[in-house]
Structures are given as structure tokens and as C-alpha cells.
Amino acid sequence: MSERISVFGTGYLGATHAAGMAELGHEVIGVDIDPAKIERLSRGEVPFYEPGLPELLRRNVESGRLRFTTDAAEAAAFADVHFIGVGTPQLKNGYGADLSFVDAVIETLAPLLDRPAVILGKSTVPVGTAARLAARVRELAPVGDEAQLGWNPEFLREGFAVEDTLRPDRLVLGVDPAVPGRIEEVARRVYAQALARETPFVVTDLATAELVKVSANAFLATKISFINAIAEVCEATGADVTDLADAIGHDARIGRKFLGAGLGFGGGCLPKDIRAFMARAGELGVDQALTFLREVDTVNQRRRQHVVELAGRAVGGSLNGARVAVLGAAFKPDSDDVRDSPALDVAGTLHLRGARVRVHDPEAMDNAAKVWPTLDFVGSAEDAVRDADVVIVATEWRQFRDLDPAVVGSLVAHKRIIDARNCLPADAWIDADWSYRGMGRHAA
């Protein structure tokens, strides 16, 4: 059965969710305060890079099941289910999450609800936020208790956002057990296809649903920092972290995923979510429970410094005037997102240390240039590596993994490569006479 749905926020999360819901057969209206974004989306254009999303968006805009507006009143009049998919970035002056966008949606939408409606929050929020918002909705909505809010966290990964939205590995719904309502029934209708495939559906209270999301991200961040910490020990002992990860990954209790040692995690979620989680734990008086996340963050930051130091050592000590090629600016491949990107951070730091840095990324250069306008962005990997004293692979795009060591070798000034994502076939580079450095792997 088709539902009438609105999605507030049309960033990575909201735009993908809106298009995904339309693809599932619902009638969807996407809402954003940014008229430029709405105009582009209405034309069927995705304002960021996400594989598969442009096709999904265009198809559903053309079918008439998906449209976009800046007018919240239009969305309130149209839809019975309202998703919140706006951002919750890190506060400028602290570790906590900036909830102003989420609050603004509630303050705008709730007073417009004059018939029964369900609001489902998707944004990642500090525990306790949903209960506060639920009360605020009841207070502001003309329909009172018939306007109900639940929390339905989102686990989509950039690069796989379409797949994760259409075929999630689990669904989580938080409801206030003290307020009997229709939220679960409505969510079951919205996600009918996934539930028919027996996708696990965890229905719980609001606080648990909020904590599920941040705990999942904290766990992933911890797993990455764990293997990166082990990589440090491997480097000190001549051991190889890739073999080690394969070996421990065969243990089903551990698993091989997210044991990729390298430059560490970045992006719009993991770094800010672990910081917001620590900040919230502090407010709740349980800061000690999460002090280990500070170490997770520190290990992660240390990766970036380590790569800068390796580059310095590779060029003989001083980066001043050294020609460095940085391949990659996005925080991970198949994304144009440079938020808290380890790759871009390394490029920027090298530049500040006096190196002559050339950067290439297949998709993220426009976004990167907004953050670091003084870096030299070039149109191809070949242009980036020409005459370089050292090459750093900082994001594991397929284009970089497939580079031919002989061809690249003919372009550079010195055959020195730092594989900061452990993504290259080390033997092939070494056989082609390169001085190869991996992360926690046997040094050549």
C-alpha cells in the first residue's frame, strides 16, 4: 500500500531516502530550505556524487511519485508520514552535536499538523533528543496527541546509499511505550517490502533507538582504530597487519570487515558521532564509560600525522619544496565527500609544511577546493604524479589501485610510493623498482 510521505532535508540522507521511498511505491515530497538544491532535485539532478542515485531520482521524479519543495506547509498538507533527515554536524565550539536543523524542522512542521500524523526521525541525535522532540510536537501541533514522533535511525553508507535504503540489513524503530499510538503500524506499512523479506525489525524505546545508531558507529570507529593501533605495533616489529587482519578476521566472532588498516576513518558520521557520544555521556555523568573513544579518536588522528612523517622521511627529511602527489581527497572511494577527510587533511598539512602538493580525485576536487583553495588540484593521476618526489595514495579509488607501476614510474622524479590505504599490489610496485611503504606492512 502506498503512503504519502515527506522527507525534511535533502542531503545525502534525505535525498536518498526520498528517492528510495518513491522507488518503493510511496508518494513522496522532499523538503529543504535551500531553494537551489530543491530546484536541482526537481530537475532530477543529484547535487552530490552517489552511485545509482541519479537514475533512481530521475525515474521517480518523471513518474510523478517524487517531487520537491521549500514549502513545509505543502508537505504538511500532503503527507501523513514525515521523515526528518537533516544534518546534525559537530558544534563549531565543542564536541556536541548541533541540533539546530532538527529543532527547526519540528518548530516549523509541528504547528502545521492539523490532522493525525507520524514523524519519524532519521538523523543521528544525542540520546534524549527524541523524547524532548516528541513532547514538543504534542505541545505545538493543533492535533495534539495525534501528532506522534518515533525514531527510526538510518545506517546508510555513502557509496552504497541506494542499496542500503532499498534493502536495509535491519530496521530499528524507537517509540515511547507510555504513549500508545500508531507509529509502529505506520512504519510497518512504509517498510512493508523489507519486512516481507524478513528484514530484522527491532522495535524499542526512543533512547535505545537513538543509542543504537551512535553505538554502531562507535563500534565501527573502534574496530578501525583497533587495527590501526595494531598496525603501529606491526611497524615496530616488522610484522604485517594485512596478514594479521586476515588471520583474526577468519574468527567469525571478529570478522574481517572494518579491519582495513590505513589512514583511518573520516566522513560526515564516524568522527563527529563518537565526539557527540562522548559529549553526551559527559552530560549524563557517565563520561568514564566512553573515555576509550577519546583514544579511538587519537589513534585515528595519529594515522594522518604518521603519513605526513613518512612522506618527510621519504624525501630525505625536509618537506620544504618537496614535490608530493596526493592521490585522493574524498574520505573514501565512490564519494565526493571531503568532510573530515583523512586524505585532504594529509594534503593540507603537507602544503602547510612547505611541500609542493598536487592533488587528484576523480569526484571530490570541487568540494576539496572549497576547503583548501590553495592546493594544486589537477585533472588526472598522471598530472598529479609528474615529477613527484613521492606519491601518496590517500583514498583507495579503483583508478588508483589499478595504476600501472611502470607507467607511473616513467612520470615521477623518484619512485617512492606511500600506500596509505594498503590498497596497492605491493609486490607489483616493488618489482617495478619502487620504494614502497604500506601502513603496518613489511617495508620494502
Instruction: Give whichever of 262 and 440 is closer to ligand UDX, judged by the CB atom.
Output: 262
Instruction: Give whichever of 122 and 415 is closer to ligand UDX, judged by the CB atom.
Output: 122
Nearest of 227, 271, 401, 239 to residue 327 by alpha carbon: 401
Residue type, 335: S
How far apart are CB 59 and ligand UDX at their closest, in Å? 23
Instruction: Give whichever of 18 and 270 is closer to ligand UDX, judged by the CB atom.
Output: 270
Question: Which residue has 598530472 as its cell numbers?
Answer: 383
Instruction: Give whichever of 190 and 270 is closer to ligand UDX, judged by the CB atom.
Output: 270
Q: Are 429 and 406 in contact (CB under 8 A)?
A: no
Q: Are 350 and 318 in contact (CB under 8 A)?
A: no
Q: Are 151 and 120 in contact (CB under 8 A)?
A: yes
Pairing label, strands 27-31, 171-174: unpaired
Q: CA 309 to CA 314: how far, in whole Å?
A: 8
Nearest of 36, 94, 46, 103 to residue 70 by alpha carbon: 36
Question: Which residue has 536541482 as its cell numbers?
Answer: 40
Q: CA 388 to CA 86: how far, in whole Å?
A: 42
Instruction: Give whichever of 29 and 220 is closer to ligand UDX, judged by the CB atom.
Output: 220
Give me the residue whose beta carbon is nearest to ligand UDX. 260
Helix (H) or strand (E) holding 135: helix 129-140
Q: CA 292 to CA 102: how far, in whole Å?
A: 28
How far apart are CB 48 and ligand UDX at their closest, in Å? 12
Instruction: Give whichever of 269 and 426 is closer to ligand UDX, judged by the CB atom.
Output: 269
How far apart are CB 9 and ligand UDX at their closest, in Å? 14
Binding stretches for ligand UDX (CB under 6 A): 154-158, 217, 220, 224, 258-260, 262, 264-267, 269-270, 331-332
Q: If DSSP codes are grouped into helix, strand and coil, which group holds residue 75?
A: helix
105: Cα separation from own chain's centroid: 22
How far apart are CB 228 and ligand UDX at their closest, in Å? 7
Nearest of 225, 408, 323, 414 to residue 425 by alpha carbon: 408
How far apart are CB 419 and ligand UDX at their closest, in Å? 13
How far apart are CB 66 and ligand UDX at their closest, in Å? 22
How far apart are CB 323 and ligand UDX at their closest, in Å? 26
Long-range contacts of 312-318, Cβ-Cβ distance < 8 Å, separation of 24 or more: 312/353, 314/389, 314/390, 314/416, 314/418, 314/435, 314/437, 315/389, 315/390, 315/414, 315/416, 318/354
Q: Which of 269, 307, 385, 403 is catalytic?
A: 269
- Is residue 423 part of the annotated active site? The answer reads no
How far apart are CB 335 and ligand UDX at their closest, in Å? 7
For the chain, counts of helices (H) and of strands (E): 19, 14
Instruction: Give whichever of 303 and 351 is closer to ligand UDX, judged by the CB atom.
Output: 303
Nearest of 157, 210, 142, 168 to residue 50 by alpha carbon: 157
Q: CA 133 to CA 149: how far, in whole Å?
A: 8
Instruction: Give whichever of 20 and 266 is closer to ligand UDX, judged by the CB atom.
Output: 266
Question: Which residue has 627529511 as its cell numbers?
Answer: 317
Count of alpha carbons within 13 angstroms of residue 129, beta-carbon side: 29
Give the catalytic positions in this structure.
Answer: 269
